[in-house]
Structure 1
Amino acid sequence: MPKLLEAGILYVSEDFHTAAHICACGCGQKVRTPLGPTEWTVRNDTRGPTLRPSVGNWQLPCKSHYLITNGNVQWSNQWTEQQICAGRQKEHARRTEYYEARKPQVSWWRQLLDLVRQKLGL
């Protein structure tokens, strides 16, 4: 990832699972989006890159909200503070669900064995 980003370019680092660009509103702020199963995804084809989900720059003064689709910016509606809070809670729940589903499951047999060992002081 270069230190100085050029406006209008979406930079993607597969090694570091991140994308970055200059905010589409023109404020000049760097926007970083982590890439992964619970974060953003990038698809690139001949029409240009697509970044999903939308970019909501809630932490920046501009609070811009947009999609990058086929290399073009599509402006989205401005969110209220309540919508931002609800969106963050939804993201947290989605991440929690994703990682909980990937935890190794302990079989009932293993749980019983652990309980017996605990009762016997083993």
Structure 2
Amino acid sequence: MEVVTPLSPAKWQLSDHWATVSLHPSIGNWSFPCRSHYWISHGKIRWAGAMSDQQIKRVRANDHRAIEFEAQMDRPSEEKVPPVSWGKRFIAWLRRP
């Protein structure tokens, strides 16, 4: 079975060690029947223990929040006009002709 991991800065950090690479945090393939869970460290796979359904649910929720945050960071920021305080508006009203 081939597993494709879509690398995203919101999810993983890829470290280059000249001849090897590491990928953190761990990779969980909970949609596959094998439900594999592992790290890639200096070009070698380090197997992790199985995770409960509740742990998987929490990880997926965290992933979803990270993806949403990344999407917000990619959006161009709108120029925001700071709100004018009621005191300044009142003084401006008093000065009206």
TM-score by structure 1 length? 0.58
Give the equivalent residue in structure 2 for 1:107.
80
Whichever structure has more strand as a proportion of its residues is: 1
Higher relative contact order (CA 8 A, sep 6+): 2
Number of residues paired by the alignment?
83
Structure 1 unaligned segments of length 5 or more: list them. Answer: 1-28, 112-122
Deviations 1:6-64 (A, max 9, x none): xxxxxxxxxxxxxxxxxxxxxxx111111232233322223511122211110111111
* CA RMSD across the alignment: 2.2
Structure 2 unaligned segments of length 5 or more: list them. Answer: 84-97
Give the equivalent residue in structure 2 for 1:67.
39
Higher CA-based Rg: 2
1:82 aligns with 2:45: no
Give the equivalent residue in structure 2 for 1:120.
none
1:82 and 1:37 map into 2 onto residues whose CA distance is: 25
2:73 and 2:47 map into 1 onto residues whose CA distance is: 34
1:39 aligns with 2:11: yes
Give the equivalent residue in structure 2 for 1:91.
63
1:106 and 1:53 map into 2 onto residues whose CA distance is: 36
